[in-house]
Amino acid sequence: MGAADLLSTVIHLKPLEFPNEEHNTGRWWGRAVHALMLRVLGGHQPHMAEELHDEPDLRPFTASSLMGSFNRDGSLMLDRTYWLRLTSLRKDVGEALENATAPGGLLAPGARVELDYSRFEIINPKENNREVSPWQVVSSYAELGEPFLLASQNPPRRLRLYFTSPTTFKSEGRHIPLPLPRLVLGSLLERWNAFAPVAFPVELRRYFEECLVVSRYELKTRAVMLKQGGLRVGMIGWVDFTTLNYDRYWMGLTTTLAKYALFAGVGAGVTQGLGQCRLAAEGEMN
């Protein structure tokens, strides 16, 4: 059985030590997790890490920041466990992740890794972790679209997306921290058409523009400290998109892209912790 092309892998870690107080202060861990992902890819096929490092923003993987409970100043706590998430949008990347998490691999339980000068041990996850479980998923492009594109299920009229890390969109040279349908779903359409075996029609963008509206939301902004002291402002929370002109075909494509957000991320900086997103399950809607 081959590797999955769509894989969302959650890694649990326990901090071991801090080199000094300077490096155990509040900061964004996305760049460190990105570097870890490149080590995973380089360990699988040496040319992959170099190839993907040199590519523009459109890369076949995402990397989260470090997640869990921190001190008030954002520093780590030695008595707590943390988790991060890595995803693949292409089969060879999925294979690299599967190999890294297999016994003896770079990300297998018992292995030790370094993130931004801090050392961690990979540990076995706790069972029934409700916070983590929606993010640990194996799928494929065909499986995501099959219920709606093969007419076995009617797509919904309303979609809710959760943005769990700061999300922003680069448009016309500016960063826009607003979940406009054309930005959110346009970002997903771009990634789908870059990596999926079958592309969706570009006319789908017109449906986003003319037929989808923001009907409800609960959002707030959050700033992320980037390299060299720069700030990036993104939004977190949730938003509902509702169609004004229900069409089974177009909403089927749109719903498939919303499900794809779990793997592809949304907006700018998804390989460095930004844009972590997932579609709400039916029981989460109200």
Check for a shared fold between 6-135 and 141-284: yes
Using one digit for the tens of pLDDT, what is the confidence trace for 135-171? 999 999 999 988 777 777 789 999 999 999 999 998 8
Cα-flanking dihedrals φ and ψ of residue 42, to 5°? Answer: -65, -35
Instruction: Among 5-14, 16-25, 104-113, name the one with the lowest average pLDDT.
Output: 16-25
What CATH number is given for 6-135 in this structure? 3.30.70
Can you give the pTM of this predicted structure? 0.92
What CATH number is given for 141-284 in this structure? 3.30.70.1900
Name the band, by pLDDT with cuts 50, 70 and 90, for residue 218: very high
Q: What is the CA radius of gyration of the chain?
A: 19
All structural domains of the chain with their residue ranges: 6-135, 141-284
Name the band, by pLDDT with cuts 50, 70 and 90, for residue 2: low
Look at residue 68 and tell me whether its pLDDT is greater than 80.
yes
